[in-house]
Amino acid sequence: MTEWGWVAFAYGVAYGSFFLYAGSIALRINRARQSIERSE
């Protein structure tokens, strides 16, 4: 793999997992909020 290939791989892993994690937090917040609203 070329140097730029490795850099792209590293940034892909970092930013990809980052968006997944942030997304999971946002999703879980939404779900919890909806459950609370439903139970009221």
Contact footprint for another protein (CB under 8 A): 1, 3-4, 6-7, 9-11, 13-15, 17-18, 21-22, 25-26, 28-29, 32-33, 35-37, 39-40
Q: Closest distance between another protein and the C-beta of residue 24, in Å?
A: 10
State the Cα–Cα distance between residues 5 and 10, nearest whole angstrom: 9
The two tokens of residue 32 are: 């919890």
The two tokens of residue 25 are: 């937090």
Q: Closest distance between another protein and the C-beta of residue 18, in Å?
A: 7
3-state helix, strand, coil in the chain (%, to 5): 90, 0, 10
Q: Closest distance between another protein and the C-beta of residue 26, in Å?
A: 7
